[in-house]
Amino acid sequence: MEKIGVVGCGLMGAGIAEVCARAGLDVVVAESSQGAADAGRSRLEKSLARAEAKGKISSAADVLARIRVVIDLDELADRDLVVEAILEDEDAKTELFRQLDKIVTSPDAILASNTSSIPIMKLGVVTNRPQNVLGIHFFNPVPVLKLVELVPSIVTAPEVTERSRAFVQDVLGKEAIDCQDRAGFVVNALLIPFILSAIRMMESGFATAADIDRGLVLGAAHPQGPLALADLIGLDTTKAVAESLYEEFKEPLYAAPPLLNRMVDAGLLGRKTGRGFYTYN
């Protein structure tokens, strides 16, 4: 797989595009509007400039030259692998997979989702090639974190999973773990209840956001606290994953706390909007 497509050039999509281009691959990133494409291109430029300044890459310009940011999904027609990285919304993702199924021409091309929680089967069945659909779930920030979750559905062809594993590990230099096609997969099924518990603790007045986070950083050696992590993930994404988990398992620990719902309704989504549990410049 040498021709890679990415749909979405937000934090995750740009990160996926960057690691693929840094591996020497030809990358096309599709966005929904020129404004979003320009913002995505700027995000890539800044990230690659930081990587060059830190000595992670020799030339940001060389890597950037391997990435095209477009606003037409038809530009993905010749891709060997397309990774969807749009908003965490089931209806939006299923509609996108219907379109990609018609656009991507190679019968061997893999259609992958970077979803955090939506069952892959729901995405595969809207295509005429569900055997070529699986989850390839990266973690933010993609250029830094090594883990990728591979999530085949019950009809994903084993050879597609193995091709994806070889791509993730041998080409991108990541570490892959295998997950069942259940909402949340491995990491988010463990992480989201932890974050929701921290939100409930703050909501109840048990402790402040700062003290909750300091407790986990200094007392449990976590690199950052759960509320700061929620701000990094995005409170809208945290809420969407929680809802997907609750829909599938109906366990109270997966239910989004009222405070989280209100913050999302207010547009306080964390780092991406400048304010969540903390305020950012």
If one counts every other C-beta atom within 10 angstroms of the C-beta of residue 252, the result is: 9
Is 59 designated active site? no
- The per-residue DSSP string of 87-155 comes to -S-HHHHHHHHHHHHHH---TT-EEEE--SSS-HHHHHTTSS-GGGEEEEEE-SSTTT--EEEEEE-TT
Are 220 and 255 found together in one domain?
yes
In a domain, 277, yes or no: no
Are 29 and 66 found together in one domain?
yes
Boundary (domain end) residue, out of 154, 178, 202: 178
Count the domains in the chain: 2
Are 59 and 157 found together in one domain?
yes
In a domain, 279, yes or no: no
Are 59 and 125 found together in one domain?
yes
Are 22 and 161 found together in one domain?
yes
The one catalytic residue in 47, 188, 243, 244 is: 188
Are 47 and 145 found together in one domain?
yes
Are 142 and 64 found together in one domain?
yes
The one catalytic residue in 84, 137, 243, 244 is: 137
Residue 216 has what pLDDT?
97
Boundary (domain end) residue, out of 178, 206, 229: 178
In a domain, 201, yes or no: yes
Residue numbers of the domain that contains 17: 3-178
Partner residues linked to 113 by β-bridges = 84, 135
Are 139 and 193 found together in one domain?
no
pTM: 0.90
The one catalytic residue in 113, 114, 116, 153 is: 116
In a domain, 280, yes or no: no
In a domain, 259, yes or no: yes
pLDDT tens series, the chain, 281 aa: 999 999 999 999 999 999 999 999 999 999 999 999 999 999 999 999 999 999 999 999 999 999 999 999 999 999 999 999 999 889 999 999 999 999 999 999 999 999 988 899 999 999 999 999 999 999 988 999 999 999 999 999 999 999 999 999 999 999 999 999 998 999 999 999 999 999 999 999 999 999 999 999 999 999 999 999 999 999 999 999 999 999 999 999 999 999 999 999 999 999 999 999 999 98
Is 156:202 a contact under the CB 8 Å cutoff? no
In a domain, 244, yes or no: yes
Residue 247 has what pLDDT?
92
The one catalytic residue in 31, 84, 88, 149 is: 149
* Locus of tokens 């690659």: 48
Q: Phi and psi for 10 in degrees, rounded to 5?
A: -80, -155
In a domain, 183, yes or no: no
Are 161 and 207 found together in one domain?
no
Boundary (domain end) residue, out of 146, 178, 210: 178
Are 144 and 27 found together in one domain?
yes
Q: What CATH number is given to the structural domain containing 231? A: 1.10.1040.10
How far is it, in rounded angstroms, from Cα 116 to Cα 190?
A: 12
Are 192 and 173 found together in one domain?
no
In a domain, 26, yes or no: yes
Is 197 designated active site? no
Q: What CATH number is given to the structural domain containing 20? A: 3.40.50.720
Is 92:115 a contact under the CB 8 Å cutoff? no
Beta strands in the chain (DSSP E): 3-7, 26-30, 67-70, 81-84, 110-113, 133-138, 147-152, 175-178
Are 263 and 227 found together in one domain?
yes
Residue 140 has what pLDDT?
87
Is 116 designated active site? yes
Is 188 designated active site? yes
